Chains A and B, each alone.
Chain A
C-alpha cells in the first residue's frame, strides 16, 4: 500500500475528519478507514469510501434486518442480493430477472430526470444480467393532490417515466399511484423492471482472471450525479434544491443502443463479468465486481471517455453519468466486444486490468490516486453494519385507541360510493397510463381491468403476471400486519388473473433509520414481509432500501412496496375483473366482518387515518388464493377481483366499470344479509376476500370447492342490468360511475 506517490496527494485537497464529515462519514467510520488503510486516505479514496459506505450502496442500517427475509429456495436461481437482480426459473430453460428500485430523492428535486433515470437504472440492472427487459412497472406516491407542488411533481415524474420507457421500447404495464399528505415534498418513485433470459445466457457481475481486461462501454462520463448516492442518504430539506446537480440526466436512446449491444456481446459468450453503473459509478462497479471475484483491478482514469474537460480523479470515480457499463473480458476477446459496440455507435474503452491480489488501484495519468482493498468497500465485506435502536412509536397509542363507534353513519350510500370512485386513490389512472406505451413488444395481454398485468412469453407459450402493491396507511397503523397485507394483496392480485405467485422483489421506503421509532417501523415491516413470504411460499429475490424519506413536516408513512411475480402455465387461464354476462352468479370468497380502521372510506369521508390495520390470517389467505386458482384452472371462473381499497362496494363497482370499455356495460344486483352497519359492510376492508362471477348453475361446484378448503363463501348476487344495486342502499348507474371514475384524475390535475 506504499505505492501512493506524493504527487497525488499534493494535487488533491487534504483529508481530515472535518472533510470526512462533509462527505457524510461519521467519526467512527473515518477511524475505520484509517485503520483499514493504515494511513490517511487520499481525497479520491475518501470520496470512494463515502459513496460505497453510504446507506444507498452499503445498506449499513438495513442489512442485518434484511437477512431475516426468506431469500432463497423455491424457483430462485440466485440468492437475493447476489446479482444485480433476482433470477427465477420459469421453465423451458428460461428465467425471469426482476427487481424494483427507488429514485425518490432525485425525483423530489428534479421530477422529470429523477424519474427517467430511475427507469433507466432499473432497466440496466436487468440487461446487465443478459436478460431482455419485457415489462416496466412503477409504484408512485404523492402528497395531497390539492397542492400545486404535487401536480407539478406528478406531471414531471409521469412524463419522465413515459419518455424514458417509451423511447427505450419496453412496455409500462402496471403500477400504483397513491396520494397522502405525508408524501408532500417527498414523493416516492419506485421503478420495477422484468426481463427474460435463457439460463445459459445469464451474465454475472464478477471480475476474475489475472490480466483480463476491464472495459468501460456506453456514454462518456461527465460531472452529473456526483454524490447522488450520498444525497439519497439524507433527509429532504430546503437545502435539497441545491442538490439538483446531484441528479443524473437520462438518455433513453443511448440506453436502447446499450441494451442491444450488451445483449449481443453477452451472446458471444466472451463476457466474463458485467455490471451496470448506477449509484457511485465507477467506484461501485469496480469494487463490487472485484470483491465478488475475490480479485482486484488497476484502473487508469485518463482512459475513461469524458464529456467534460479536466475532470479530476475524484470526479471520474464518483460520477453517476448514466448509460454506462463495465465489462471484463480476456485480452484476446476485446476486439470481438469492441466491434459490437462500434456497430451500435457506442464507445468501448479498455481502462484497466484484473489482478488477483484484491486491491483496487486507481491511477490518473500514471499517478496513483487510490489503493484500497476492494473487499473493504462493499456490502458483505468491510462496509459497516449497524444494529439500530428501535422503539414503538407513540402515535400508535392514539391511532389504536380511537373509538370507531363514534363515526357517524352516512345517509346517502350511493353518494359515498360516487365520492370514493372519484377519490384520488381509487379513480381511474387513465390520464397517467395513456402516457406510457403499454403495448410495445406485443406481449401485453389485453385485459378488461386486470388485477395484475399479464405478459405473454413468446419464447415459451406461457405468461407471467406482475403487480406492485402497498397500502402504506395500513403499514403506518400496524407495520407488521400492514407489511403482511402488502405481500398478501400482491399475491392475491396475480392469483385473480390466473397466476401462481412465485417470488417477490421489494422496495422499502422509510424515514430516517437513526430515529428509533422509524427503525421500529422498519423492523416490524421486515418481520411482516418475512412471515407472509414464508406462508405464501414467495421468497424475496432482492430489492432496495430507501431511508431518509422525510420532509420538514415529518416522515412518510412506512411504505414497503412489494413487486410480485406470478406464472400462468396455460394461457386459457388468464382471467380479468369484468363481469361477463347477464345472469352470471356473483360469489364472495372470504369473510366480511366490516373492518373500517385504516380504510379509504374513513380517510376520504371522515378525514381519519386511525384504528388498526385489517387483521390478516395468512393461512386463511393462502386457502382463499389456492381455491380461486383451482377454480380458475377448472374453467369455472368468468371474472375475479380482489376486494381492497374501498371495500366490497368498490370492488363490485370496478367489476361493472370494467365492462364499459367492451361496449356492453353490465350491472349487478346484490342481495345479502349484512348483519353489520351498512358502511362497515360496504366499505370495510377485511382482507383475504375475492369476488368471482360464474355461469348460472355452476354455484354448487364453487360451494363444494370452498367447503373442502374451509374457505367461507357466499353467493351475493347476480350480474344484471346496467346498474349496481346493493341491498336497497346503493343504486348507481354503471355509465354514471364510469364517467366519474374515468374523468376524476384529469379534472383534479388541471
Chain B
C-alpha cells in the first residue's frame, strides 16, 4: 500500500504539529510534510491536518486569526475540491472559524483547561475517519483543551444527527452517553463531527497522542488507520489523484 502524504499545517503557536508528524510518520509509516502557514501551496499533500495548539496564542477567539493565514485559502480550496482535511483540537476550532464545519467551540463549561483521558463512543463507521471501528465501539483517547464546548443552533444539530455526521461522543466506559462523561459541556456530548460531504472532520480529542502502548491507550491508531486505509483502499478522490 503506497504511503499517503500528510500535510501538517504549522501556524504560529501550533504545538501538536510535531506530535502529529511523529504519529503519522514514525508510528504509522506515512509520508509527512510540515507546511508553514505563510506558504501558498499544499505541496501535493493527500490529506491536510490542522494540528492542536494555540494558534496566535488564542488571544482572540480560538482559531479566529489562524483562519486568515495565507495557507488557509489553499486549504479551503482543497476541501471544496473534496480533499480530506482533519482538524484536531485547535485545528477543529480553526475549521469552525473558517466555515468548513458548522458550530463553534466555546469555553469549557467549568471554565478550566482540562487534560485527561476520556471515553468516546464511535457513532458510525461509514466515514473515512471511523472505518476501522465498529459502531458503538468505545475508544479511550486524551483531551487537552480549554475551549472544547461544542455549540450549534438547533437546526444545525438536527442536520448533524440526521445525516449521521456526529462521529464521536463523550461517554462512560460502557458506552453510555451521560452528563457525567461530558468533560466540557458540549451539546449532545459531541466530540467530533464531519461536513456534509464527509471530507472535512474536526475532533477535540487527540488521536495522535494515543498511538503507543508505552504512553498509554492506543485507540488513536484506529482513527488514523481509518484515514490511511479509507483514503487509499476506498479510492477516495483526493486532491492529488484529481490532478
Contact = CB atoms under 8 A, between A and B. Distances in A.
B44 interface: no
A168 B15 contact: yes
Contacts of B211: 442
Contacts of B12: 253, 256-257, 344-345
B208 interface: yes
Interface string A414-455: 000000000000000000011111111111111000000000
Interface string B14-41: 0110110011001000000000101000
B144 A440 contact: yes
Interface in B166-217: 173, 206, 208-209, 211-212, 214-217
A204 interface: no
Contact of A440 (B15, B23, B116, B217): B15
Interface in A250-281: 251-254, 256-257
Given A256-B13, A440-B144, A435 B113 contact: yes
Given A257-B12, A445-B215, A446-B216, A439 B57 contact: no
A444 B58 CA distance: 25
Interface string B46-58: 0000001110111
A683 B18 CA distance: 46
Interface residues of B, number: 36
Contacts of A253: 12-13, 54, 56-59
A442 B22 contact: yes
Contacts of B18: 441
Contacts of B212: 442
A120 B10 CA distance: 22
A444 B212 CA distance: 11
A163 B145 CA distance: 10
B113 A163 contact: yes
A433 B26 CA distance: 29
Given A434-B115, A445-B215, A440 B19 contact: yes
A168 B112 CA distance: 17
Interface string A133-167: 00000000000000000000000000100110011
A251 B26 CA distance: 32
A442 B15 contact: no
B91 interface: no
A405 interface: no
B58 A167 contact: yes
B142 interface: yes
B226 interface: no
Nearest to B112: A435
Contacts of A256: 12-13, 15, 54
B15 A435 contact: no
B147 to A, nearest CB: 12
Contact of A439 (B54, B58, B113, B142): B142
A683 B177 CA distance: 42
A458 interface: yes
Contacts of A168: 15
B239 to A, nearest CB: 26
A668 B53 CA distance: 43
Nearest to A163: B113
A71 B16 CA distance: 37
A409 to B, nearest CB: 40
A435 B112 CA distance: 7
Contacts of A344: 12
Given A253-B56, A439-B115, A166 B214 contact: no
A4 interface: no
B35 to A, nearest CB: 14
B114 interface: yes
Query: Of residues B16, B19, B113, B212, which shows the largest number of chain A Cβ atoms within 10 Å of its Cβ?
Result: B113
A93 interface: no
A343 B53 CA distance: 19
A571 interface: yes
Contacts of A571: 214
Interface in A439-492: 439-446, 456, 458
Residue with the greatest number of chain A CB neighbours at <10 A, chosen from B52, B54, B208: B54
Interface string A153-192: 0000001001100111100000000000000000000000
B217 to A, nearest CB: 8
A635 B58 CA distance: 47
Contact of B16 (A254, A434, A440): A440
22 contacts: A159-B112, A166-B54, A166-B146, A167-B54, A167-B58, A168-B15, A169-B15, A252-B54, A253-B12, A253-B56, A256-B54, A435-B113, A436-B115, A439-B206, A439-B209, A439-B215, A440-B144, A441-B18, A441-B19, A442-B209, A444-B215, A571-B214
Closest 3 CB pairs of A and B: A169-B15, A253-B57, A446-B216
Interface of A: 159, 162-163, 166-169, 251-254, 256-257, 343-345, 433-446, 456, 458, 571, 574, 663
Interface of B: 12-13, 15-16, 18-19, 22-23, 26, 36, 38, 52-54, 56-59, 112-116, 142, 144, 146, 173, 206, 208-209, 211-212, 214-217
Given A256-B15, A435-B114, A442-B19, 14 more contacts: A166-B113, A166-B115, A167-B13, A167-B53, A252-B54, A253-B13, A257-B12, A435-B115, A439-B115, A439-B209, A439-B215, A445-B215, A446-B217, A571-B214
